[in-house]
Amino acid sequence: MRVYSTSDRITRQDEPLLSFVRKLRNDPVNPVNPVNIVFVLLSLLLFPEKAQAYIGPGAGFALIGSALGFLATFAVAVFLFFFWPIRLLWKKIAGKKISPNAKAKRVIVVGLDGLDPRLTMKYMKEGRLPNFSKLREQGY
């Protein structure tokens, strides 16, 4: 009988399992070997049993919705792929033209989540936002 210390990871309850595994390893006609495992798995995959499942009436809507979303995305991607060279050609021919009615040559849009215009103006007056103040002075 073996004496176990507290540092051993194997407990007394594991001993029957370990002796069984040792027998399998030493057995010349071991049924548990990689070839047999692959054979069993392949036979399960190639010769499946019948399976029955209930598909509710709402499953069709989910399938159609997903399929239409995928098809629409694919159609837009194909359209943009073929339309892209035409857009590049148009930009090259037309160039960038500023409308004569435009109030500014260039517009900078700064979008910050939670930006309060009143607080921004207050902080600009206090000098706490110098870059925003410079943009305002330059007319941007």
pLDDT in tens, 28-37: 656 667 777 8
**What pLDDT shows up at residue 121?**
92
Contact call for residues 132 and 120 (beta carbons, < 8 A): yes
**What pLDDT shows up at residue 99?**
77
Rounded (5°) CA angle 38-43-44: 100
State mean pLDDT over 79-85.
Answer: 94
pLDDT in tens, 107-139: 878 778 888 889 999 999 999 999 989 988 887
User: What's the CA gap between 71 and 37, in Å, rounded?
Assistant: 42
Assigned token pair, 88: 């590049």
**What pLDDT shows up at residue 118?**
93
**What pLDDT shows up at residue 23?**
67
User: What's the CA gap between 88 and 139, in Å, rounded?
Assistant: 32
Assigned token pair, 87: 């857009």
User: What's the CA gap between 135 and 115, in Å, rounded?
Assistant: 16
Assigned token pair, 79: 């359209």
User: What's the CA gap between 18 and 27, in Å, rounded?
Assistant: 14
